[in-house]
Amino acid sequence: MDIKVFIEKFAEQFEETDANVIKAETVFKELEEWSSLVALMVIGMVDEEFCVTITGEDIRNATTVNDLFNAVKKKL
């Protein structure tokens, strides 16, 4: 699994946020568009794209996109 691919797929979950704004060090919960609905979409994306199940707790424990990537990577 590649961080670039993860960031690309993560950014696709946002309708209004420019994908170029989302980087590994982005604190995703500070994005204006971040919501519980986007969190659910991210959980679904991770399951579909990477065949990994993450939980709301995994998202709560992550601060940056890279933290979330590492949580997913650990479950592979």
What's the CA dihedral at 49, 52, 16, 2 to 10 degrees?
-70
Integer Cα distance of 70 and 63 in angstroms? 11
pLDDT of residue 47: 98
Domains, the chain, with CATH or none: 3-15+28-75 (1.10.1200)
Paired tokens of 60: 């709560």
Query: 64 in helix, strand or coil?
Result: strand
Contact 7, 50 (CB under 8 A): no
Ranges of residues in the chain whose predicted pLDDT is under 70: none
Integer Cα distance of 8 and 20 in angstroms? 9
Paired tokens of 45: 């994306």
